[in-house]
Amino acid sequence: MADTSIYQSPLSQRYASREMQALFSNDKKFKTWRRLWIALAQAEQELGLDISDEQIAELIAHQDDINYDVAQEREKIVRHDVMSHVYAYGQQCPSAKGIIHLGATSCYVGDNTDLIIMHEALELVKKKLVNVLAALEKFALEYKDLPCLAFTHFQPAQPTTVGKRAALWAHDLLMDYEEIEYLLDHKKLLGQKGTTGTQASFMELFEGDTEKVKEIDRLICEKLGYDACFPVSGQTYSRKYDTRVLHALVGIAQSAHKFSNDIRLLQHMKEIEEPFEKGQIGSSAMAYKRNPMRSERMAALANYVICDALNPALTASTQWFERTLDDSANKRISMAEAFLAIDGILDLYLNITDGLVVYPKVIEADLLRELPFMATENIMMDAVKAGGDRQELHEAIRVHSMEAGKHVKEEGKPNDLIDLIAADPKFNMTKEQILEVMDPKNFVGRAPQQTEEFFKDYVDPVLAQNKADLGLHADINV
């Protein structure tokens, strides 16, 4: 049980998965530091420095058994986290002690580790994103032909289909996927650039051999599974990169928030509901309520991520020359929490989409209540074909529409526009003939075809590319 006497982050307790939390854990951070020290020693050995195989073997042997107690005690003395862990590693590796961190500055382990963790976190985000896309595709294709009332300005508008609306949600996420893919396709490490980015200490180590100093960056990248380093830097990689990463996460937050808005509005209308478990309580006071708490939580976390984007932007814009340390405390909070929140958002998105409940009869009733107003153009054209005068019919429809609107809004009665038109001899149409014109499928345009084409042409290739990652289902903690 967690210590209940101190603050615990809700992102860890309630929202983010263990998989994402593990990426931002101390174990992941400090084990990656040691991977980087090993890669540095190996590269330096390959380039001719006096480092033995035994020293490297000793470093590898203790890569994962971090002596935290030694590091913590040392940091109380030296007030420097990196040098505390260099000391602790050296206590475990006495023969290699003198070559740990050789020529490096703190940002060698700090910045490279941050980049590695962010890129692995982006891979997890991408994995969850494609699973949400797969769930949306399943839902959209199932309901691609189900007509529903569409809205512009949240006012009734020309009908669409339930599946086409889901395609809009998926399209937003597809754009987010493309941003994540770009970041991963162009990922880079800092490499080993030294205290001001000039690699001066390595020029000293390698006695001015520029080619060897350039080669050490390539070797470090290769050993860590990267193709490239940032071409230039100060002591740190440009903090604008963090802004770029967080903006990709903000894109997901925007998409999720929009989805959550739509679901909450649809649940209010009783057309579509998010999952509601058997023992779930919607309200402490009103037992009958089915509050859309998953969608509301998604919106709340999305707001947090969107606001969080200011942090790396402010950090990047206020760095001085080759670096200042005011990025450190902010960066370790804002970047980690953005990923934890997005992880929670995507789990909610997948959980909701997996269990959406659709009420076709309510959808049909809502549509038919408004459809008479939207069908008047088609009715008028059929009446003209039957011999009516277009101008007279237009005026008659205007009058009847005003009358029907009055009945609905002022008297609370059902929409009787069809009855008014059928009773008007100018139209020369029976109610049955008018109702034939009003088949909702006549008013959705290419919505079913658009839905099929979008998923076939744009989403399916993404799902095929990520086939090994499909099959996720998300349970929410609370």
Annotated catalytic sites, by residue? Answer: 153, 283
CA–CA separation, 458 vs 174, rounded Å?
A: 8
HSE-up of residue 60 (Cα within 13 Å, Cβ side): 9
Half-sphere exposure of 210 (CA within 13 A, CB side): 1
Side-chain half-sphere exposure of 139, counting CA atoms within 13 A: 26
User: Contact at 8 Å (CB) between 177 and 460?
Assistant: no
From the list 103, 80, 100, the residue with the least C-alpha distance to 91 is 100
3-state secondary structure 156-171: EEEEEEHHHHHHHHHH
Could you tell me if 255 and 172 are in contact, meaning their C-beta atoms sit under 8 angstroms apart? yes
User: What is the DSSP code (8-state) at residue 152?
Assistant: E
Q: Which amino acid is at 216?
A: I
Query: Whole-angstrom Cα distance, residue 140 to residue 456?
Result: 12
Give the closest residue to 424 by CA, choosing from 448, 440, 403: 403
Element (H, E) at 38: helix 26-46
Residue 89 and residue 100 in contact, taking contact as beta carbons nearer than 8 Å: yes
Contact 102, 40 (CB under 8 A): yes
